[in-house]
């Protein structure tokens, strides 16, 4: 059952799909005493196109033809790379059946002002399932409620929040919203002036635009990102959107609604065998998208794009603070020196100290080892070291951060008494 909205008639209805048949109704009684009605056409969010619906389900020739029409629409009004254009078209179709999956990736465009981010959001967002348009100027509180009520696709522009409390709130939505079963908890005031906890459903596809990187690295890894460059758009792209823009989008949404009715209950297998050798997080965000793609050629192109993202992530990781720290550890081991935290800190200061504003102390290095690399230093002979028990983990880290491999590490025997760094 899906709500439709016909703006010209100022009308909202339910379309019910049952046994392959479609019917339109004003309300639905699910169980005795429970009657569901659609949102009013006069609802402020609907009249201002904050939430966008289809008007009626319409037939389409084939999934391949529908995908081609979606991609042609994106190409007509947006200037992005060919690979990201194809991914965006697949993402539109995925958004209409996202609730058949337990995890969803996010689509993100990043760049300075004037690079076409807002145009991309408007174009792709206009085709997505129950698109919810918001901007960085919106307060965060309504977003929880709109997402919980509509269960659609969040389209968010200027997702670089100025204040830390705003950033923390939106990060909650984005971090909790990519996997089913992680609602955001908020306290709601009751008429009796009491505060009751309430769970808000924020799971669903999201398309966002930012100028910079997310400071939260986990959130950054959940996004399929296009770097928008400041250049003149293709000459065939209109600078101002024509009246036909909205009409074309509505026609495609109507076909996509029929696509949802036809495909939502179909089995979608998450086969990750084709993603072997790709970074686990990259494979995780691409797997649901691949499960909705028909045609081996299209799958191979998307897998190739996933590999490029994986290689980029690995290259960025190899230049990170963690990689620098692991390179120091490997160098000390190769030189036959004990892996004491003080020696690591001294060597790090010698090679990279000038790059950091804060002093490089053993306490700071020990904290990085624990928080960033999950390595636990132990005390041996009055000094903290990396024990041999961490050798398997170190080998995995060296491989992950592209700093090589080592044999046994540390100078602490496993049967010695150890004291963890407080």
**Residue 101's CATH number:** 3.40.50.300
* Residue 229, φ and ψ in degrees, nearest 5: -100, 150
Residue 281, C-beta contacts closer than 8 angstroms, at least 6 positions apart: 221, 222, 313
pLDDT at 27 over 50: yes
DSSP annotation of 186 reads E
The angle subtended at Cα 281 by Cα 277 and Cα 283, nearest 5°, is 50
Residues 207 and 168 in one domain: yes
Residues 191 and 325 in one domain: no
Residues 373 and 262 in one domain: no
Residues 27 and 91 in one domain: no
Question: Domain end: 315, 350, 379, which one?
Answer: 315
CA dihedral of residues 277, 282, 284, 288 (deg, nearest 10): -110
Tell me, what's the pLDDT at 310?
A: 85
Residues 249 and 385 in one domain: no
Higher-pLDDT residue of 161 and 344 is 344
Contact 326, 396 (CB under 8 A): no
- C-alpha distances (whole Å) from 353 to each of 82, 196, 317, 357 are 42, 50, 19, 8
pLDDT at 191 over 80: no
Q: Provide the domain count of the chain.
A: 3
Residues 360 and 220 in one domain: no
Tokens describing residue 329:
């550890």
Q: Does any domain span residue 331?
A: yes
Q: Tell me whether strands 195-200 and 131-135 are parallel, antiparallel or unpaired.
A: unpaired
Contact 223, 177 (CB under 8 A): no
Token pair 């001294």 in the structure block, residue: 346
DSSP annotation of 177 reads T
> Quick one: pLDDT band at residue 256, thresholds 50, 70, 90?
very high
Q: What percent of the chain has pLDDT over 70?
A: 92
Residues 215 and 93 in one domain: yes
Residues 249 and 331 in one domain: no
Contact 327, 403 (CB under 8 A): yes
When the pLDDT of each residue in the chain is averaged and rounded to a whole number, the result is 86
Contact 289, 302 (CB under 8 A): yes
Domain with 347 in it: 321-400
Summarize the confidence of residues 341-357 as an average pLDDT: 87
Residues 9 and 149 in one domain: no
Question: Domain end: 315, 337, 357, which one?
Answer: 315
pLDDT single digits (tens) 72-105: 999 999 999 999 999 999 999 999 999 999 999 9
pLDDT at 421 over 60: no
Residues 288 and 175 in one domain: yes
Q: Does any domain span residue 53?
A: yes
Q: Count other C-beta atoms under 10 Å from residue 229's C-beta.
A: 12
Query: Is pTM, for the whole model, over 0.85?
Result: no
Residues 131 and 151 in one domain: yes
Residue 70, C-beta contacts closer than 8 angstroms, at least 6 positions apart: 89, 92, 93, 127, 252, 256
Q: Does any domain span residue 371?
A: yes
pLDDT single digits (tens) 149-190: 999 999 998 765 554 455 667 778 888 899 998 888 888 777
* Residue 71, φ and ψ in degrees, nearest 5: -65, -40
pLDDT at 139 over 80: no
Token pair 């619906």 in the structure block, residue: 53
- C-alpha distances (whole Å) from 286 to each of 34, 155, 318, 324, 416 are 39, 19, 22, 29, 45
Q: Does any domain span residue 188?
A: yes
Tokens describing residue 321:
């603070």
Written as one string, the DSSP assignment of 119-176 is HHHHHHHTTSTTEEEEETTS-HHHHHHHHHHH--EEEEE----SSHHHHHHHHHHHHH
Contact 371, 377 (CB under 8 A): no
Closest C-alpha to 87, from 223, 224, 221: 224
Contact 320, 401 (CB under 8 A): yes
Closest C-alpha to 141, from 111, 113, 172: 172
Q: Coil, strand or helix: which one is 208? A: strand
pLDDT at 408 over 60: no
- How far is residue 396's CA from residue 276's CA, in Å, rounded to a whole number? 17
Q: Does any domain span residue 410?
A: no
Q: Does any domain span residue 416?
A: no
Q: Does any domain span residue 406?
A: no
Contact 104, 205 (CB under 8 A): yes
Q: Does any domain span residue 391?
A: yes
- How far is residue 204's CA from residue 224's CA, in Å, rounded to a whole number? 15
Question: Domain end: 263, 297, 315, which one?
Answer: 315
- How far is residue 149's CA from residue 89's CA, in Å, rounded to a whole number? 26
The CATH number given to whatever domain includes residue 391 is 1.10.10
Summarize the confidence of residues 365-387 as an average pLDDT: 89
Residues 211 and 83 in one domain: yes
- How far is residue 357's CA from residue 306's CA, in Å, rounded to a whole number? 36
pLDDT at 16 over 60: yes
How many contiguous H segments (helices) and E segments (strands) does the chain have?
Answer: 14, 15
Question: 391-402: string of b/e by CB count within 10 Å (b at 16+)?
Answer: eeebeebbebbe
- End-to-end CA distance of the chain: give it in Å, rounded: 56
- How far is residue 261's CA from residue 211's CA, in Å, rounded to a whole number? 37
DSSP annotation of 179 reads B
């Amino acid at each position: 059952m899906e709500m439709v909205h016909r703006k010209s008639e100022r009308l909202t209805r339910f379309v019910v799909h049952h046994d392959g048949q479609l019917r339109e109704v004003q309300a639905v009684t699910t169980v005795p005493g429970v009657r569901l009605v659609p949102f009013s056409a006069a609802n402020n969010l609907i009249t201002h196109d904050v939430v966008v619906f289809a008007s009626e389900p319409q037939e389409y020739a084939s999934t391949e033809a529908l995908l081609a029409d979606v991609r042609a629409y994106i190409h007509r009004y947006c200037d992005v790379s060919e690979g990201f254009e194809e991914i965006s078209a697949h993402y539109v179709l995925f958004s209409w059946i996202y609730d058949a999956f337990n995890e969803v990736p996010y689509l993100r465009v990043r760049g300075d002002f004037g690079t076409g981010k807002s145009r991309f959001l408007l174009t792709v967002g206009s085709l997505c399932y129950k698109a919810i348009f918001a901007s960085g100027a919106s307060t965060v509180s309504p977003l929880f409620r709109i997402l919980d009520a509509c269960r659609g696709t969040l389209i968010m522009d200027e997702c670089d929040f100025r204040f830390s409390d705003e950033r923390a709130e939106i990060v909650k939505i984005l971090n909790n919203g990519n996997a089913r079963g992680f609602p955001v908890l908020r306290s709601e005031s009751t008429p009796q002036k009491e505060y009751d906890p309430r769970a808000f459903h924020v799971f669903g596809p999201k398309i966002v635009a930012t100028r910079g990187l997310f400071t939260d690295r986990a959130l950054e890894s959940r996004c399929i990102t296009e770097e928008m460059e400041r250049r003149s758009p293709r000459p065939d792209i209109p600078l101002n959107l024509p009246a036909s823009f909205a009409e074309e989008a509505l026609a495609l949404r109507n076909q996509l609604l029929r696509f949802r009715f036809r495909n939502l209950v179909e089995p979608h297998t998450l086969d990750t065998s084709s993603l072997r050798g790709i970074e686990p997080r990259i494979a995780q965000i691409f797997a649901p998208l691949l499960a909705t793609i028909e045609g081996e050629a299209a799958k191979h192109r998307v897998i190739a794009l996933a590999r490029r993202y994986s290689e980029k992530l690995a290259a960025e990781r190899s230049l990170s603070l963690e990689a620098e720290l692991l390179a120091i550890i490997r160098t000390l081991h190769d030189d036959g020196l004990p892996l004491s935290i003080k020696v690591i800190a001294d060597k790090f200061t010698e090679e990279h100290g000038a790059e950091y504003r804060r002093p490089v102390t053993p306490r700071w290095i020990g904290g990085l080892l624990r928080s960033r690399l999950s390595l636990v230093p132990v005390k041996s002979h009055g000094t903290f070291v990396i024990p041999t028990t961490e050798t398997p983990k170190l080998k995995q880290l060296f491989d992950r951060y592209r700093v090589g491999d080592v044999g046994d590490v540390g100078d602490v025997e496993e049967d010695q008494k150890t004291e963890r760094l407080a």
